[in-house]
Amino acid sequence: SGGSTPRRLFELLGGELAREFPVEGTRIFWCDERCVPYDHPWSNYGSAFELWFGPAGFPAGNLHPVPVELGPEAAARSYDRLLRERFADGRHSLDLCLLGMGGDGHVASLFPASDALAEGEKLAVAVRPGGNTKPNVERVTLTIPALAAAGSRLLLAAGAEKLPVIRAINDGNPSVKDLPAAILDRMAGIHWLVVDKNA
């Protein structure tokens, strides 16, 4: 995933830790992407490439960005197809999903009360965030079933305002049971990493 939370991690992986990361044997897929060009400041792929993939020398064939140039709906269909082809044998899935969480409990681009939360078949769907979500642009996101099928889910959370949500989810508080992060945690489990000293 993208957003602001993983930027420092990407900087480390593209800098002092680059020699320790097995780029040749690693394939990267996206949990979500904003439907903007890759060179746009809002692009998750663009940010990760600038900070990590480019400096670390990732082979281009190991990177599988969402084809945003197709438009949201077609890009989601294409990504769903790509994931099904890559993991068609049923014995393999994504090894690790690196996620962030918004203060509203959203993960990837699965937002509270979104119809995408009820998707049980597709692995990737197009969504438009509502409310005050920034940036308020169309996106492609992996669905709960796709994220739940991964070997592990690591959620990086930065910001003291997110701690009450994390605590409520971990405590099983019914007031947060419908938040995307809580749904995913119940279904498949999440490893939480709070990276803000104030939290």
Which domains occur in the chain, in start order? 7-194 (3.40.50.1360)
Per-residue model confidence as pLDDT tens digits over 27-83 = 999 999 999 999 999 999 999 999 999 999 999 999 999 999 999 999 999 999 999
* Residue with tokens 């940010």, as numbered in its chain: 47
Q: What is the pLDDT of residues 94-127, one digit of tens each?
A: 999 999 998 899 999 999 999 999 999 999 999 9
CA–CA separation, 173 vs 168, rounded Å?
5
pTM check: above 0.85: yes
How big is the chain, counted in residues? 199
Locate tokens 């405590």: which residue?
A: 171
